[in-house]
Structure 1
Amino acid sequence: MATVEAELAQRFYSAFAARDWQAMLACYHPEVVFDDPAFGRLEGKRAGAMWRMLVEGASQLEVRHRLVSAADGRALVHWEARYPFSGSGRPVHNRIVAQLEYRDGLIVRHHDDFDLWAWSRMALGLPGVLLGWTPWMRQRIRAMALQKLERFIAKHPESG
C-alpha cells in the first residue's frame, strides 16, 4: 500500500509514537479540521495545539497503529494509545479508528472515533462507570478537555 496517503498516515502516526508533535503537525494542512468524542471539532492551529498538549503532557505514552486502507485522497487507520490519565493516574488503553482526508498532499480532515464511555470507565473509574454514558458526563468531559486546551494555548500562544 505504497500510496502518498499511506506514506503520510505512516509518518503522522510514527511521529505520534515518537512524541514528535512538530513532525505530526507537518502532516496537517493549514485548514485542517479535527474532531473526536472528547474535544469535538478543532480547526487549524487549535488541532495542532491539542496534539502538542497531549504529546508534551504524556508521561508514559505508547502509541501503535495499523493502516487499514489508503487511496483516493483518504486513509483509514486503527490506532491505540496506552497511558496513565493525567487527571486520575488511572491506566487507559484507548482504541481509535481514524478517518483521514487529504488535500494538497496533507491531512485536511482527521476524524477519530472511539467509545467515550469505555474511555471514561478507564480514566475516571466509578464515576465513568456510572455516568460515562450520559450526555451530562460526555459534555463535562468535553468541557474539561477544551478548558485544558485553552489553558495550554494561553501558556503557548504560538500553538493556537
Structure 2
Amino acid sequence: MKENDNIIVDFYQAFEKLDAEKMVACYHPDITFQDPAFGVLKGEDAKNMWRMLCHSQKGKDFRVKASEIECSRDKAKAKWEAFYTFSQTGRKVHNSIHAEFEIKDGKIIKHVDSFNLYSWAKQAMGFKGLLLGWTGFFRKKLNAQTNKLLRKFIANQEQQSNKK
C-alpha cells in the first residue's frame, strides 16, 4: 500500500539526515524493535535508541543507504546499508541490514533489523571480533554494553530536561 511505502521511506530519509525525531514519529507508541546489537527494545527505549545513535553520529562520517523497500497491507521490508567509523576502534564498517516491519494505524509497530553479527564484529573489532564475534558470549556482552549506553543516554537526557 502506498501509505505504508511512505512511512518506510520517511523513516529512512530521516535516518539519512540523522533526524531521530522524524524517525521516531514513524513509530507506533507500542513499538517493538529488535536487532543483534541491542536485542529487544520496546516503546520509548526503542525510540531513545535511535535518538542516541543519531546524536552520536552527528558530524561524523556516518552514511545510510536504503533500498528494495517493499510494502503490503500491514507488512514492509527493506534493505539498508550503514557506512561509518566505529568509534571504539577507529575501524571502518560497512554493515548490510535486512529490515522487516509490521504496520498498524499507519505507524511502524514492529521493526526487526537482521545482519551478520560476525561480519560486523570482524569489521568493527578487528582480531577480537574475528575470534569472538560468532559466539553467544559476544552477543550477550554486546547487548549488555549497548543497553548500558542506552540507559546512560536516557539518564543524561532526563537530567538535561530537568535543568530546563
Offset of residue 68 of structure 1? 3.5
CA RMSD of the aligned region, Å? Answer: 1.2
Please list, as runs of the form range in 1=range in 2, the aligned pairs for 1:50-65 lying within 5 A after superposition. 50-58=49-57, 59-65=60-66
Q: Deviations over 1:56-110 (max 9, x none)?
A: 1012210000133101111110000001112111111100000011111100000
Question: Which residue is 1:72 aligned to?
Answer: 73
CA contact (8 A) 2:118 2:129 kept: yes
Structure 2 length normalisation: TM-score?
0.92
CA contact (8 A) 2:5 2:69 kept: no
Question: Which SS does the other structure have where 1:140 is aligned?
Answer: helix
- What letter corresponds to residue 26 of structure 1 in structure 2? A
Offset of residue 156 of structure 1? 1.0
Instruction: Provide structure 1 residue ranges, at least 5 long, that are not aligned to the other structure.
Output: none
Offset of residue 118 of structure 1? 0.5
CA contact (8 A) 1:9 1:67 kept: no
Please list, as runs of the form range in 1=range in 2, the aligned pairs for 1:1-160 lying within 5 A after superposition. 3-58=2-57, 59-157=60-158
Partners of 2:100 and 2:82 in 1: CA distance:
16
CA contact (8 A) 1:10 1:67 kept: no
- What letter corresponds to residue 97 of structure 1 in structure 2? H
Instruction: Provide structure 2 residue ranges, at least 5 long, that are not aligned to the other structure.
Output: 160-164
Question: Which residue is 2:162 aligned to?
Answer: none
- What letter corresponds to residue 16 of structure 1 in structure 2? F
Question: Which SS does the other structure have where 1:81 is aligned?
Answer: strand
Offset of residue 138 of structure 1? 1.3
- What letter corresponds to residue 5 of structure 1 in structure 2? N
CA contact (8 A) 1:8 1:106 kept: yes
* Higher mean C-alpha deviation, range 12-21 or range 133-142: 133-142
CA contact (8 A) 2:70 2:78 kept: yes
Question: Which SS does the other structure have where 1:6 is aligned?
Answer: helix
Partners of 2:40 and 2:16 in 1: CA distance:
23
- What letter corresponds to residue 118 of structure 2 in structure 1? W
Name the count of aligned residue pairs.
Answer: 157
- What letter corresponds to residue 37 of structure 1 in structure 2? P
